[in-house]
Every structure is written in C-alpha cells, then in structure tokens.
Structure 1
Amino acid sequence: MKYLKYLITAILFVGFALTSCEDYLDVSDELAEERSLEKIFSNPQDVRKWHRNIYKGIPNTMNFYWISVVWDIGMGNPWPNLADELIPSFEENYPYTRALSPADRPLFYGRWHLYQLIRQANVFLENAKEIPKTGDADYIGLPEVEELKAQARFLRAYYHYLLFELYGPVPIMEKSANPADPDLDFARNSVDEVVDFIYTELTDILEDLKGPNYYDPNYLAVPTKGTALAVRARLMVYAASPLFNGGYTEALQLTNKDGKRLFPDKDDTKWQKALNACQAFIDYANAGHYELHKEYTNGVYDPYKSVYEVHMKFNKEIILARSDDQGVINAGGPVGNIDFYTIPRGARGGGSSTGGGGVLQELVDDYFMCDGLAIEESPLYTETGFSTAGEDLTGRTEIGTHRMYINREPRFYQNIFYNGRKWHIGGEQIWYNKGGNSDNSGFAPRSGASLYKRLSQRVYHLSPHPLTEYRPIMIFRLPEFYLLYAEALNEVSPGDPRILEYVDKVRERAGIPLLAAIKPQIKGNQEAQRKAIRAEMRIELATEGQRYFDVKRWMIAENKPGEGGLGGDFTGMDMEAKTLTGFYKRIVIQKRVFERKEYLAPLPQEEIQKSRLLVQNPGYTPTVE
C-alpha cells in the first residue's frame, strides 16, 4: 500500500504545548489553516497524512530522559527511573523523593494529550472514504480505506489503554467532539466500561488487521491481528489484577459527581476472562506467527548472543515496535538516545555528558546466577573479595572481578555494566570507583553500575566500525505474553503444568536451568509460582517500561525496596569510598517516597479545575500554582 512509505515518519518524536480542552481536542494543522474536512478527505495524500499522524502516540521505550515526557506526548519511558530499576544523574524534575501532587505536570500530564490523537482517529473514522481512481491521479481504494480505518480503531483503543494504565478509568471518546462547543465536558467512565470498550474495539477489528511482517521496519509499528490480541490480553490481566479489581479500597469509594461508582468490587471471574484473552493470543502465536528469537554460534545455541541480538534485529519475537532509534556513539547524539544515556564517560566514544544512567543495586541483585537460582539461594554467590583464575564458571569476566559479578546468568552480562568491566570495543576497563575513568567527579551512574541492555555493541567512533545502527524499539515482545499467560493460569488453576512450561520457555532462551528441573517442588504452589513468574518478569522485561505498572497493579508498591517497593532506601555502590574494596559496600543512594494515592496518577489539575464533571483520583488535593 502506498501509505506504508509514510509510516516510518509517523512515529518520530513530537511535542505538544497544550493547556486547554480546546488544545487537546484540536485535530491537526490542516484545520488551523481553515481547510475543510471535506477537502482534506477528498485528497489521497492528505488522507494518508492525517492517518499517519495518529501514530505519534506510540511509546518510545528507549528514551529514558525525563524531558521526553514533554517532548514526546508523555510517551517516552521515564518509568524505569520511577521503579526499582534505574536512577538518573539528574533528578530535579523527578518527584519520587516526595509525595506526588496534581501539580507534577511534566510527568503525568503528557499522556493526557493522547486525547488529541484519539480525536484525530475519530475524525478519520468519520470522514475517510474511498477516493475512486481517475486516470493517472492518486486514489484510495475501498480495501485501503478499510485497512486504514482498522488501524485507526486499534490506535484509538490502544491510546485508551495507555490512559487507563496510568490514570485508571478515564472518559471514553468514541466520537469526535467540537472543540468550539461551549458545553464541551466529559465525565469519567467506570473501570468496567473502559475495559469493555477497549476489548470490544480490539475484537471487532481482528479480522481486518493483517498478520505480522517481521523484517521490514516500515511495518513494525503497523498494528496487526497479533498486536490487537496482545493488547487485549494485557488489558484483561490488568482488569483482573488487584488495583482494578477490588483491591484498592480508597478507589472503591470514588464516584462521579452524579454518584456513579468508578471502581468495581472484587470479581474473581475476571481472571478467567484474562486467561481466555491470553489463550487467544497464545494460540495465535503458536500457529506460526511468533517465536522466541534464538541465535547460534557454530551450530550451537548461544544464549548470550540471543538475549543481545533480540533487541538489535527485526525478528519474529516482535509484536509491536518502533523503528526510529539510531544508535549514535558520540555525545552529539540525540538527548534521548539510549547509547547517549548509557555509554560510560571513560569509554572511547563517551563524552562529558554521556553514561549517566545508573542501575539500582536492587535490580542488580535480582538477576539470577548461572545455576538459575537467586543470589540468596545459590551456593555460587558471594560478595567477598575478587575472583581468581577458573572461578567464574561462565567465562564472561576478567580475573580480579568482584565476586558479586561472577557466575551470573547471560541476561546479567548483556544488561548490566559493572565496575572494572572491559568495554566491548577497544577493551578499556571502565572504573566507576573514586579516581577511575568514569568516577563521580564527572557525569557518572550514581549507583556504580550502568545500563548495558539495548546498547549497540557494534557502533564505535573509529573506522571500520559503524557510527550508527538502527534497531527496533520494543513495545510488545513474546516473552511478556508467555509470562502473562502463566500468571493468568496460576490465578485460575495453579496445578496446570503449562504455568512452569511457559516460564521455562523464557528461562531456556535466557540460558539458565529450567524451574521444572531445579525447583520441581513449586509446581502447584500458587504463591511460589506467583513469585517465580514475577521474578522472571522482573529480569526479562527489565527497563522496558512495564515494571512500574506491574508492581502497582499487583499492589506491592508499598513493599520495601527489593520486594517491589517504590518507596524507601534504594542502594548502590559507595562511589565516595577511598579504596576499591570500600566501593563495593552497599550504601543508600536515594530515599524515595511512595504513598497509596500513587497507585494511580493524578489527572491534570487544570482539567479538573475547568471541568464540571471530571473527578480527581483518591488522595490528591488541589494545589495552588
């Protein structure tokens, strides 16, 4: 289709400076130019341009920078910095060291602007039509119109899901509204209404969406049948989880101004509905549409290469992704670029303002050992001293590496860059300890370890290495849905053998022993299996943007750090220590605050103030700016 050549430009970063209801309901620059809808939707190029603009809300999970929530319609990925995963070098705008407020505009207001794109989708659905072929002029046939409309309906449903994920129940917008209407105002729909709307929309378009195209980057962000099934599965798991299913007691009292309740009482049958939705996706995936990406070296399965290349290549594990991330090895790269965020200052190609993305020790500790066990369970783990020859069974570390980093699983070595490790090209050792080439006398990870996941190990600032590398920005990957499937099965039927089977599919690809082999005693134990599923999600999906929402939907965000908590004392290495040995002592590097009201984000304060119908989430009181 001709419109596909435009899609790659449709998912670039965009910024909105929106301050009013009229602003967030504006539909496009074309209307500002006083062009009529009739004229716009009679021109094939304008129709496709309008359509591709709807894609602008697709998240960029590789942009961790806080300012991205302003530039990117709130669709960057600041969430790992709020979860027990990352700690940035700059925290001036990060509100996790105090209780959240409705005035925390940059963080929580950006996603509200998705309503602008929802309106653009509605206008498109109401006006797009066949433009018959006349001579050699461009045209839009009926099949293309139907396909474009199905994609617009998917995006409208997906954007409602993203709003629901952050704010809870929100107003459903399934028709365009007139921004000039003086009575323009909307009340919130209930949790069940929002879920039913999204589910029905996704179900209705399943047969109108095509199958996946794995290898053409122009198609990565184009919704497919598998994408719709995946969103539907995740939605229903959310709806069954405690946060949205009777577990958030404060929200059970939340009503609209007419007395309508917004949150439902607990309903255990929702887990069966979640399982049904997950099963539908799994059946589709297993019919040859998706598979875990695996790499081989000399004919032998290579887990290290597999867990790295899955993020570097277009592959059959991708369910939905963006294709516009360009790895730039020097400090001149875009501010939100993951390479810019993670390259240590002391690496050739690093710069004075690169490499500030730190990994919290709580995440470092949660990676498994090479025997598949947690560090507190494995006899291989110790934090005393430095390794000697032959001590690291994986062969992945240098002699003299601190023992907390040896004998770890493949995902650890592809995701975490620790003190004293050699850079992948050039071979220089990176030292975060005092006096080292990447210490805290300049830009450095505040935790003493930096993020390595999704950083290209091929780009470099010297020939013959490439200076840039495009890679897919994962939004949905197959392992997440294996684990969601296991979660739903465990809540419905803990004795089902498929629970460990699907968790072990993820572990097998990661190159660690299967739970069925090393922990057969947990089979059928709902709580033990729940813990195992969550531990696997924690590592496999680390920093991809879901952890922050998972611990909230499970309602464990009030736990202490290391147990899913978002508040408390978070730790890292002692970067002020005067000796190398002293560096490896855990210290508190940040005290974070999490209050129960923060299970849901506050609705934008100015929207509450100017609306007669919108009600704020529980616990948030208006503030004067």
Structure 2
Amino acid sequence: MNSIKFIRTIAAASLIGLFTSCSDYLDVSKELSQNLDKEEVFSTAKYLKQWYGEIYRTCPLYSETGLGVNSNESGLGKGFTNPWAILSGELVCAHPNVLKHGQNSFTPSSTEFNKWATCYQQIRQAMVFLQMAPESLGDASNQDGYISVEEMRRMKADITYLLAYNYFQLFELYGPTPIIPDVADPEDENIDYARASVDEMVNHIDGLLESIINGEYKNDLPETIKQGDGADYDHDASIYDLNNILRPTKAAALALRARLWVYAASPLFNGGYKEALSLVDTEGKRLFPDYDATKWQTAKTRLEDLLKFAESHGMGLYYSKNGDPHTSIYELFQYYNDEILWANGNNDYNDGVTAKMEARTIPGDIPSGMGNVGFYQEMIDLFFTDKGVDISEDQEYNESGFTDWENPCTTISGKITEKHVDKHIFNMYTNREPRFYADVTYEGKSWHIQRNSYPDWGAYFSKGGAAYKDNTMHARGGYLLYKFNNRSLLKEGSYPTDWGRPWIYFRLADFYLYYAEVCNEINPNDGNIIKYLDMVRKRAGIPGYQELKDTGVKNIIGDQEAQREAIYRERNIEMMGEGNYYFDMHRWMRAGWSKDESGNWIKDNEDKVLLRTGMDIDQSAVETFNAQKNTAIKFKENIGEGSYYNRVVKDKFPWKKAMLLYPVPYNEMQKSKLAVQNPLWE
C-alpha cells in the first residue's frame, strides 16, 4: 500500500481527540471548565475520550530539531521537541534562534526546555482517569456514545502505560522527582511533594509497567500492532493496525521497562555521579544510591524478556527485499515494519517538503529547501569506513585529494539500478560505511532525484555554492542531516510532496545494543556481546567484530573497556538523530567530553569550553554549482588553510558539570518547601 499521507491521516483520525487539546472542555489545572465537572465528563463518552486523548500529548516530537524547537506549537512546551540534539552537539541548526541554545547558557531560572509541570499535569490527568472511568459507558445500540468493558479496560491499560512513560521522561531528564500518591485538589495551596529517591522512582515506574505486563491489565493490551500475515518488506500497511499506531502494546511496555532498568544501572543513576551521592532531601533522605551491580543483572533480565517476546512474535531487524544495506537503512524509516516496538504516526517530516524538518534538511537550491539542520565534524568522524573500522585505523582513509564517487542514494529517470556519479568528491567522504551515506549530505553529494536539465544537482555549501542562502539557511558545519528524508519527494512537477512515515520511539536495534551493553558490564566474555553488536553491524553493511578478529584486522573480544567503547560508538551511529544521543551521553556521564584545539580528547566532565568544528564554509570548494547559470564553477584544487576542506572551530560552548542533570525549574523550587535542586546548580 502506498504510504503517502496514510500514517499521518490515520494518526489524526484515530482515537477521538488524540492530538486535539481538550481545553475547550477541561481545564486541567482548575478541574472545572465551561460548567463541566468530573462526574459529567466521565459519564459522557465524547468527553471521556477527549480526556483520555489529552494524555498522549506528552509523547515527544523528537523529529523536530529545527526552528520548531524554539516555538511552542505543541502547546505543551519546548522540551517535547528535540532541543536535546542541539544542546548535546549531536546536531546543529544554523538558524540563530536555535543555534543560541547550543551555548548552554541556561540557569534554573532561564531553562526553556522543561518537562516538569506538563508531565505532572498529564500524570494527574491519568490518575483522575483511572479513578473516575467506569467499567463501561453507554448503550451498545448507540455506538457514538458507547464504550464497552473491553475497550474501557484497554483504555485504562493505555493510561497506566502513559503514566509510567511520563514519570520516565521526568527521570531521564531530572533524575528522581516526586511521586504523586493520590489525586489532590489543584486549588489546595498546601500541596507539596518531596522528591523520591532513584530507587523509589525506578520501582514505582516498574510497578506500573508490571501491572500491564503481568498484573491487573495483563490481558488488556494487544501483543503488537500486527494484525495480519505478510512480509514487512512488501510495505503492506494492512498487516499492521496503524489506526492505533500510538496506543501502547505489550511490546512497548516491555521495551519501556527494559530501557528504565538500563538507565537505572548506568553510571549517572548508579553511583557514578559523585556530587549526586551527597544530595539529600529536607528530611535527610539520600536521593542517589551507591553503586549496585545487581541493577545490571535486572536490566539484563528485562531485556531478555523483551528479546524473547520479540523473537516469539517474528520481530527482528528490518531488511529490504533485496538485502542491500543502503536500501534497508533507508526503508527502515519510511514504512512501519517488524523492527518497530513503539512509534508515533505524527512527526515533523510528515508535513512534506514544503515545511518543517524535510525542508530544513534539504539543500537550499532544491525547491522548498531551507537546509540548516546538520552536523559538526565530530559526528562525521564517528562513522566507520567501509572496512568497519575507525578512520584512524584504516590505512586507505585520507583527507587529501578528490575522487569521482557513486552516490548510492540516487536514481536516474526512476531506474533504481543506475546511480549518479558525483564529481570531485573529497576523499574524506569516499569508502565510508552505508549509514554515512544514508545519514549525511556532504559537499558535492548529488540529490537523490536527478534531472537531465540539472545534471549535478545537489549539495554545494561552500562559498559561492547554490545551497548557501543566508545566515539562517546554510549548513553551518558543512553537512546536512539526510536521514529520514523520503527520496520520492520534490516540490516540482508531478512529484509527490508528502509522505506518511512513523516516528520511531523504540526499535529492536536500540535494544540489541542495550543488551550488548549490559552483558559487557556483567561479564565481558559473554558471547552475546559480540553477537548482538554484530547483528546491528551486519544490517549496516560492515564487518562485525568477530570477522575483524578472524581476519586479523582488529580484536576487541573479551576486553571490557574496548567492547564498551565499541558499543557506545555503535549506539551513537546507529541511533543518530533519533532522540537518544543526549540521554545516552548523560547516563554514561560522557556529556561534556570534548576535543581541544589540537584535536585531542578531554575526557572528563569538569567545567570547560566545548569545541565544535566543521568545514570552512566561508571558503571555496574545488567545485561548486551556480544555480542561476546552471553550470559548475571550478576553483583551484587546494586543501587546508584557505580552502573549504579545512577543519575549523565553528562554535565554542560552555559546559558545566551540573548539566549532567537538567535543573529543577526555578519556579517549581519557589513553590515548594520540600524540593531540593539537582547537584551543582545554585
């Protein structure tokens, strides 16, 4: 089935009021609105469904990393978009209103990306629903006003999952926060809650998930959203219940539970943050625990629960029909498939090439292109060469000279077997792994749709290049984000301009890498470490570590630190741009690591300046393209100082160790007599 507009349409249509604020009927903070009270709401199917749908609104829009992170389009707050990619240096947006956020100059009183108040509003909404919703509602003869016993139990299971998910969002950002024991009157000025400890919060979230996996609601969630037989590589949307794409399933609950325990075992929350160990509440209770090795074992058990479930349901890494890694990596994000554990049908790429993220990652000379969201050089250097090793380990890698290089992402006249050969491609960009070509648009890379009238149409970011528009629309580091873009779209002629695709919250590759990580922390000789790490690398089209050992190229097997580095590196590449990087780097306590002016790593979290480098876009490249004259402009073939192909410092961002945890908002601290601030924030 053609997926154009499909996922977006059904996401908007499913679950009455799901993406619509119920503020017309309900004021969450004041309980009553427009003469409706809770009893009236929960005795009317229309209002009850709107109350239910409201609670989904804290599901993040991590697909938005452009100008939208500076707005409040969701009505919830900026923290539910993906400023985290900007704050962590994973991505850079050239628009000045977004670029400024990477400067990390916030304080507890000036934080713009809070989730605190909004998550607690939705937590309260969820608790009210569970307290007030009846066993069923209405008469079966009136379908519009009827909610069956089965559907009401499903809704209560959904809400329990969302209750856990809201607490988890608070935990991953702030650390432990208050657990609300009961539904309180929002007009009560004496409401005040102390922060829970890490262990209390983890156990509370785990308990909520236990109730829908093995407890009260164990029979009320579907196993997955798959509703028919078929191969996902045939892109037959009918085999999935996409009308309910965002509603949680047993698979989603198992995944969230596994992620929760991976976080609980990680250094930030498990004894690794020295300053947090002395943090106590007003009663003297410690909020962060000493190191507990058994948490890794619990995480392993929870991951095995998920992996066994996935295997028993025929779920695995997505491969395209032809098995080509370039195609597999691309299609993974374009169609719902059996790798996906939980996804949202609503994302900022579904608005097509005319607005938002698709346009913000398209070079400026492509119709509708506003290309300004991309990478610094540090992320480019993470990608392996096609030999599956670091650029420093590949003797054939070099940063001198140019090559005519086939772009594996292009088609010519619709013939998939024909690829465009790009001229004068800097050797840094040749012989890299397939994920590099799927994720990155670099200087001289042709666009995926080629036309006879514009034969070398693509990315020309350097001085004089057609893709550089102005101070808001350019590739600041010399690169744009290419991942997620649909290769059939073009705002021109009869080309489609919109494509419905899921935004993936949880997918199996993510959890394969979690599993390798926890196994390595428990026993570095566990064969599952390399097995699951290499499964991800195989789909990516590069040799696994077992093969590298067997061929004498490299051997990390059994070396805990080397395996840890390999797992971290693989996560950063595989999950790039998907909303994980900020939280991974923080839970590992690697946030704040940076290179100095000489390119050497500074591996600590102490206060310092973070350097971010990129190509020198103020200089000319070897060849660029003048869109007005439809012709190439050639320059002297030089590299280094005075050339575009020269690593220069683009930005210097201050870093404080306090940023390992986001500060509790100042206004929340002012409201409470029991709240205590996160470590090192004043």
TM-score between the two structures when normalised by the length of structure 2? 0.83
Cα–Cα, structure 1 residues 10 and 541, in superposed 2: closer, same or farther, change >3 Å?
farther
Of the three residues 291, 314, 325, the one matched with 1:266 is 291
Q: 1:346: how far off?
A: 1.1
Q: 2:660 aligns with which of 577, 590, 599?
A: 599
Structure 2: gaps of 5 or more residues: 1-9, 227-239, 411-418, 452-456, 623-637
Distance in structure 2 (CA, Å) of the matches to 1:78 and 1:91: 14
Cα pair distance change 1:11/1:318, threshold 3 Å: farther
CA distance in 2, matches of 1:124, 1:12: 17
Q: Post-superposition shift, 1:77?
A: 1.2
Question: Which residue is equivalent to 1:21?
Answer: none
Please name the residue that 1:129 is paired with: 134
Query: Residues 84 and 565 of structure 1 are in contact (CA less than 8 Å); yes or no, is this contact kept in structure 2?
Result: no
Aligned residue number for residue 209 of structure 1: 221
Residues 1:419 and 2:476 are matched in the alignment: no
Q: Deviations over 1:387-413 (max 9, x none)?
A: 157999x98852421100011111111
Q: Match of 1:313, as an amino acid?
A: Y
**Residues 15/541 of structure 1: CA separation in 2 closer, same or farther (3 Å cut):** farther
Look up the match of 1:105. Answer: 111
Name the structure 2 match of 1:47: 48
CA-CA distance at 1:4 after TM superposition: 9.2
Structure 1 residue corresponding to 2:174, chosen from 140, 160, 167:
167
3-state secondary structure, aligned to 2:655: coil
Q: Is the 8 A contact 1:54 1:152 kept in 2?
A: yes
Identity %: 38
Contact kept in structure 2, 1:327 and 1:456, CA below 8 Å: no
Matched residues in 1 for 2:428 and 2:186: separation? 58
What number of residue pairs does the alignment pair up? 599
| Matching residue of 1:611 | 672
The amino acid of 2:435's aligned partner reads: R
Return the alpha-carbon distance in structure 2 between the equivalents of residues 171 and 294 of structure 1: 43
Which of 523, 546, 550 is the matching residue for 2:584? 550
Distance, in Å, in 1 between the alignment partners of 2:427 and 2:652 is 27
Question: 1:370 deviation in Å?
Answer: 1.0
**How many Å apart are 1:91 and its aligned residue?**
4.0
Q: For 1:161 and 1:135, how far apart are their aligned partners in 2?
A: 37
Partner residue in 1 for 2:365? 346
Give 5+ residue unaligned stretches, structure 1: 17-24
Q: Distance in 2 between matches of 1:518 and 1:264?
A: 39
Verify: 1:445 aligned to 2:487, yes or no. no
Question: Within 5 A, what are the aligned runs for 1:462-611?
Answer: 462-519=492-549, 521-561=555-595, 568-580=610-622, 581=638, 582-611=643-672
The 5 Å alignment of 1:20-59 reads 27=28, 31-59=32-60
How far apart in 1 are the matches of 2:37 and 2:469? 57
Question: 2:381, 2:391 within 8 Å by CA — same for their partners in 1?
Answer: yes
C-alpha separation between the residues in 2 aligned to 1:381 and 1:35?
68
Looking at structure 2, the residues matched to 87 and 148 of structure 1 have their Cα atoms a distance apart, in angstroms, of 39
The separation in 1 between residues aligned to 2:448 and 2:307, in whole angstroms, is 37
Partner letter of residue 676 of structure 2? V
Structure-1 residue corresponding to 2:80: 75
Aligned ranges for residues 215-294 of structure 1 at < 5 Å?
A: 215-294=240-319
**The 10-residue stretch of structure 1 (57-66 or 91-100) with the greater mean CA deviation from structure 2:** 91-100
> Which moves more between the two structures, 75-84 or 546-555?
75-84
* Shift in Å, 1:463: 3.4
Aligned partners of 2:137, 2:618: CA distance in 1, in Å? 71
Q: How far apart are the structure 1 equivalents of 2:255 and 2:505? A: 11
Structure 2 CA distance for partners of 1:79 and 1:14, relative to 1, 3 Å: farther
Matched to 1:487, the amino acid is E
SS of alignment partner, residue 571 of structure 1: strand
Name whichever of 599-608 and 580-589 sits farther off. Answer: 580-589
Letter in 2 for 1:249: K
Secondary structure (helix, strand or coil) at the match of 2:428 reads helix
User: CA 1:231/1:579 → structure 2, altered by over 3 Å: closer, same or farther?
Assistant: closer
Q: Which stretch of structure 1 is more off in the superposition, 194-203 or 96-105? A: 96-105
Q: 1:419 to 1:10 in 2, by over 3 A?
A: farther
Q: What corresponds to 1:22 in structure 2? A: none
Partner amino acid, structure 1, of 2:276: A
Aligned partner of 1:538: which letter? N
2:382 is equivalent to residue 360 of structure 1: no
Give 1:308's aligned amino acid. Answer: Y
Q: Which residue of 2 aligns with 1:20?
A: none
Larger deviation: 441-450 or 303-312? 441-450
Distance 1:253 1:29 in 2: 37
Pick the aligned partner of 1:309 from 322, 327, 331: 331
Compared CA separation, residues 139 and 160, structure 1 to 2 (3 A): same
